[in-house]
Structure 1
Amino acid sequence: MSRHDFQIPVTFKHRVVFTRDAFAPENPELAAILREGGGRRALGLVEKPVAAAWPELEAEITRYFAGLDVELAAVHLLPGGESIKADDSWVRESWALIDAARLDRHSYLLAIGGGAFLDAVGFAAATAHRGVRLLRFPTTTLSQDDSGAGVKCAINAFGKKNWIGAFAVPFAVINDFRFLHSQPEETRRAGLVEAVKVALVKDRGFFDWIEADLTALAALEPAALEACVERSAMLHARHIAEGGDPFETGSSRPLDFGHWAAHKLESLTSYKLPHDRAVAVGLALDTLYSVRSGLAHESLIGRVFPILHGLRLTTYHPALDWRDEGNRRMVLEGLDEFREHLGGELTVLMLQGIGQGVDVHRIDPAIVGGCIDELRGLWQAAQDKHYDLNPVA
């Protein structure tokens, strides 16, 4: 008997581009990426609401590829929103379209849509032929400033978010800013929560900038929104590329501050509570927990909550108070699911200060309960002060 251990070094290039009008004939970004890859065939999958907002998009894509030496097999429209990843039906449909287009591992799959759409189509791309080249075109604030720059894809199963999935580095991420400004206002605004999150855990200077530019961000002024999205996306991408654990083989997930509760709230509400709104609630809860558990100074609350409420983000949801037959808050089940999803010891990132995250391995349910009670009061006070805050879903 014998044992042989081999090291298999693998290097990926993570291309993240910020541009405008990516399919304009004079825009060289996509053409350069396609030339770099050397593939000769492509397929486009577009989220239906995006196509509805941009009726000329399919024709633009077709014209763009007409000037290249890459054959565009077709452009198809698929549903959007969380429902596309509710089960594997649309992944299977995507596989069928990939097969019909005769894509191979050197071919390109263009996925144009929001985060849930990119998750489902990305999983199809990662598993077809063990991986075709995915070109992500995120179209929402949330997908441009966070998930689109990541290296994960997944669908939901067993009542749990992202239970079936993979790590797969996209061939390129192309953030086209024109898509940002065609979203509904509430979606455009809600996605900013991930920028607040990454600033809190990674970059005090970015948090200070958000705080100083809050009026422009709250008004969704294009220059401020685009600058915030790009800075947030780069922090996410840089952590993945330089943080030492791009595929999460350890037990720490520093970019998931506020997400243990957020993911559970989504599943408890049958995904009627969208991810960005759930993250705002989870971020608010974990900010309070960081203070009430003694990790952070009270002043943290006075800086974080004015930003969340200034951006008109919801910071409480009734599902936080839903209880099981044993009178235990059901949201606490999210801690077990969070640990199972990553494996190893429970590891939840909390805050010691702005830009200072710390891993904790035990969460006190009593403190969580007190924080939820406090959160309810803070949210009510914010509603009384700001009558135009987004309502609880």
Structure 2
Amino acid sequence: MQFKPISQTFTVTYDYQLYFTQNIFAPDNLLFRDIIASYKPEEQVKLLFVLDSGVHQNHPYLAASIKSYCKTHKDNLLHLDTLIVKGGENVKNKGNSTTKLLEAIDEKGVCRHSFVVVIGGGAVIDMAGYAASIAHRGVKLIRIPTTVLSQNDAAVGVKNGVNLFNKKNFVGTFATPFAIINDSEFLTTLRQRDWISGVAEAVKVALIKDKAFFKYLSDHAIKLKKRDMDAMQYVIYRCAELHMQHIAKGGDPFESGSSRPLDFGHWAAHKLEQMTNHKLRHGEAVAKGIALDLTYACLMEFIDDTTLDKAINVLQDLGFDLFIPIKNKSETEELLGGLEEFREHLGGQLTITLISGIGKKYDVHEIDLKVMRKALQLLNRRSKLNVA
């Protein structure tokens, strides 16, 4: 007996909001309560909080404030526990934190109608999002990012992941958060390198998508470096807006294709993070990766010298050191090996996003390694002169 194939097609609509506030757990700030109440207006909802240890150190009152806030709004919020995990990229390198969170989800009875609420930098948010997405095949997640990079980029999308086999985000999921809440108060305690680091993602998205936004970054680079909060708040808002528009309008939110324009500069960045044992912040590595790819694009005549100078000058005015820490030929080849790792991560055809002008992305499927080596030399020579 022969049977015809049975076909099935269905569409799922994803919807989530990015909110902006200050002092989210102040008793009279009703935003968090209202977000939870929008899910179950007449019931208590169980909440397991995950707190970045760096945030806990800089805001020692926060854990108590969370508990008190939930008690004040106990008709809607049931505080189960606040789990403190070590921040930074190493939280994604070993499975201890993921296992610890999964154990807490199990022990505290967090179900698919409960929430994991993660408060921290991009690495902690990536890890917690991954654990939440695989527990019970997905429990509800709210992200409260606390760095510039996580507020304008890392926490905005639908990706979660941890590192494995010495490769960034080798294991991960696509899962939408229930909501994202950007609280500007967390930015006030950032170290200078973390304040600036996240602006690299804004430069990235401006270069590939928005000439006017790039001009804003150029005009306000010194203000941003000097920690002007109004300028930073606009940069975060516009960068996040462009990121979310890309997810919706790009037509490939779960990256089934080979083109990933939001990873402009990232093939080198990911490899540099790994090669420096994550001593480089992600944003610092992205700035170097963007500068390298811009220099390559200029050598390939995709952009002219003026465009290259404008882009490099903005990154340097913001305070980025664009020198790529390569000591010898062996390390150069190791870095270039990141291209193949990037291709593997994409699957299939290599696609590297460059630009053909400010605000104009340009995809290539082959990289001339000889020219890329020359780009590396030229960038490092230029970076040394800038430091001098």
Counterpart pick for 1:78 among 76, 85, 94? 85
Q: Secondary structure at the match of 1:169?
A: coil
Specify the SS of the correspondent of 1:314.
Answer: coil
TM-score with structure 2 length normalisation? Answer: 0.96
Give the residue type in structure 2 aligned to 1:35: A
Q: Partners in 2 of 1:377 and 1:323 — Cα distance?
A: 16
CA deviations on 1:244-277 (whole Å, 9 max, x unpaired) are 1000011100100000011111112222222111
What's the TM-score, normalizing by structure 1? 0.94
- Partner residue of 1:61 out of 58, 66, 81: 66
Shift, 1:239, TM fit: 0.8
The residue number in structure 2 matching 1:346 is 350
Amino acid at match of 1:138: P
- The partner residue of 2:372 within 368, 371, 380 is 368
Question: Matched residue of 1:245: which SS?
Answer: coil
For 2:308 and 2:141, the matched residues in 1 are separated by: 40
Q: 1:88 aligns with which of 91, 95, 106?
A: 95
User: 1:284·1:305 contact (CA, 8 Å) conserved in 2?
Assistant: yes
1: CA distance between counterparts of 2:303 and 2:14?
Answer: 37
- 2:29 corresponds, among 24, 27, 30, to 27
* Structure-1 separation of matches of 2:332 and 2:353: 23
Q: Are 1:218 and 2:220 an aligned pair?
A: no
2:298 corresponds to which residue?
291
Could you tell me how far 1:146 is from its partner in structure 2? 0.7
How far does residue 351 in structure 1 lie from its aligned partner after superposition?
0.4
> Aligned to 1:280, which of 254, 263, 287?
287
Give the deviation of 1:87 after TM superposition.
2.0
- In structure 2, what is the equivalent of residue 391 of structure 1? none
Between the aligned partners of 2:333 and 2:200, the Cα distance in structure 1 is: 25
The 1-side partners of 2:142 and 2:328 are apart by 40
Instruction: Work out the percentage of aligned pairs sharing the same amino acid.
Output: 39
Contact 2:197-2:282 within 8 A present in 1 as well = no
Cα deviation for residue 215 of structure 1 reads 2.1
Shift of 1:328: 6.1
* Alpha-carbon separation, structure 2, partners of 1:214 and 1:90: 37
Alpha-carbon displacement from aligned partner over 1:188-215 (angstroms, at most 9, x marks no partner): 1111111111111111110011111222
Shift in CA distance, 195/328, structure 1 to aligned 2, threshold 3 Å = closer
Three-state SS of the structure 1 residue aligned to 2:337 is helix
Corresponding letter in the other structure for 2:14: F
* Structure 2 counterpart SS, 1:136: strand
Matched letter for residue 280 of structure 2: L
Contact 1:142 1:276 in 2 (8 A): yes
Q: Alignment partner of 1:199: what SS? A: helix
Tell me how far 1:100 sits from its aligned partner: 1.5
Alpha-carbon RMSD across the aligned residues, in angstroms, is 1.3
Q: C-alpha displacement at 1:89, in angstroms?
A: 1.5
Aligned length: 381
Task: Decide whether the 8 Å contact of 2:33 with 2:77 is kept in 1.
Answer: no
Consecutive unaligned residues of structure 1, counting only runs of 5 or more, are: 385-393
Whether contact under 8 Å (1:322, 1:331) holds in the other structure is no
- Residues 1:199 and 2:199 aligned together: no
